[in-house]
Amino acid sequence: MTIKQKLVLFVGFIAIAVMVIYPPIRFTVSKQTPDGVSAHTEFRYERLFSESINKVYYSRLILQGVIVLAVTFGLFAIFGRTQKSAAKRAGILAEINENFQQEIEEGVRVENRLRKRIAEMTAANEKLRREINEVSQSVNKQMEDRDQLEQPPKQQSIQPAAAQESPPSESAKAKETKQTDQENQNISDSQGEFGESNK
């Protein structure tokens, strides 16, 4: 029972108590007319026991009580229904809020999974980049080694050619020296023969 329902019951009880304390009283009023004396019944509200109980207008009192009870229970039911509808709306709002919170939590979990997946993909990309750099460095090193291996045979092929060219020059020098020695010897021999002939 809500505060409004309690207030409605309290007001209804007060209204019924006031109607019982001040009930409608019937009394007869007589008037002097040219045709004679006319009497008619009227009613008014007076305190109980100020007049005879027989003069109480019970049908009107009961009708007033029924009207007050109907209004009281009607307002009681309306406020109760309002409370139920408010409670129902509160329950619906609580359920919506709970669903919304669950959706938010699910979104946060999905976001965390996506961030974790992105971090793993970033780490994998970084690892792949390092492996590519290592492979490119190894390929460059192999190419440099191949170039170095290809360069010495060319130098060796040039050096033997120079070596082959140098011996003929030495042999030519040796021949020239032999020829000069032979010429000198011939000259000395001819001079010796010339001297002997003079003797």
Q: Would you state the pLDDT for residue 89?
A: 76
Q: Which two tokens stand for residue 182?
A: 């032979």
pLDDT confidence of residue 5: 83
CB 75 within 8 A of CB 62: no
The pTM score is: 0.40
Q: What is the pLDDT of residue 91?
A: 81
105-to-109, 117, 164, 177 alpha-carbon distances in Å? 6, 18, 89, 107
Q: Provide the token pair at 150.
A: 């290809």
End-to-end CA distance of the chain: 177
Alpha helices, H only, 30-57: none
User: What pLDDT, on a 0 to 100 scale, did the predictor assign at position 197?
Assistant: 47
Q: What is the pLDDT of residue 46?
A: 76
**pLDDT at residue 152, as a whole number:** 57
pLDDT values of the chain reduced to their tens digit, one per residue, 199 residues: 778 888 888 999 999 898 888 888 877 766 766 776 666 677 777 777 766 667 778 888 899 999 999 999 988 888 877 766 667 778 888 888 888 888 999 999 999 999 999 999 999 999 999 999 999 988 888 888 887 887 755 544 445 544 455 555 555 566 667 677 777 666 666 555 445 444 4
The predicted pLDDT at position 44 comes to 75
pLDDT at 28: 72
Give the C-alpha separation, 79 to 71, whole Å. Answer: 12
